[in-house]
Every structure is written in C-alpha cells, then in structure tokens.
Amino acid sequence: MKRELDNLVVQMYASGITYEEAVREFRRRYIQEVMARNKGNQCKAARELGVHRNTLSRVMTDLELDPAQIKLGLKRPARGEHSVLPSVQMVRSR
C-alpha cells in the first residue's frame, strides 16, 4: 500500500496538483469511504473517525459532500431496474 501511495503522490505532483487540492481530495475520498462503510450513518461514521457528529457534518459541507447523495449511492436498485445485458434484451425482444 505504501508503494501505491508513493506512486500516487509522484503522479499528483508531476501533474501539477497543489497541496491544498491533494489534501481536499484525500479528505473527500476518505470520508466517502467511511460513510459508505457505515451505510450513510453520520453518527457511526463520526465515532469511527474520532470526531463529533457536528464536526463531521461541517466538514462534509465544506467538502461539498451531500449525505443524501451518499445514501442514495448505497441503495440497491428497485427490482425492475436491474440492468440487463444488451444481448439478453435483444433475445427477449425477438
């Protein structure tokens, strides 16, 4: 994992990403992951992160993370909305 992080840092630096942009993106991705693992529950995610729930909420606002969007991304599609391979759809339509 350390090697992957080192490679990522080298790539980010070489492409001109600023320190502030790199830190912001890391924070966004990290919080998204923790929120997803806690099924969108901010209280549980905040506890895991070691911050107060209000602090997590403020940070999410600062990073433009929408808790509702995170929750929507976790829900399974409705029964009729599952994607079907195009070849299967063509066979069914014949």
The residue type found at 54 is: N
| CA 74 distance to own-chain centroid | 10
pTM listed for this prediction:
0.70
User: Does residue 77 surpass a pLDDT of 60?
Assistant: no
| Predicted pLDDT of residue 75 | 59
Q: What is the CA radius of gyration of the chain?
A: 19
**Count of the separate structural domains present in the chain:** 1
What is the span of the domain harbouring residue 80? 2-93
What CATH number is attached to the domain comprising 11? 1.10.10
pLDDT digits 0-9 by tens, 11-55: 999 999 999 999 999 999 999 999 999 999 999 999 999 999 999
Closest CA to 52 of 60, 43, 61: 43
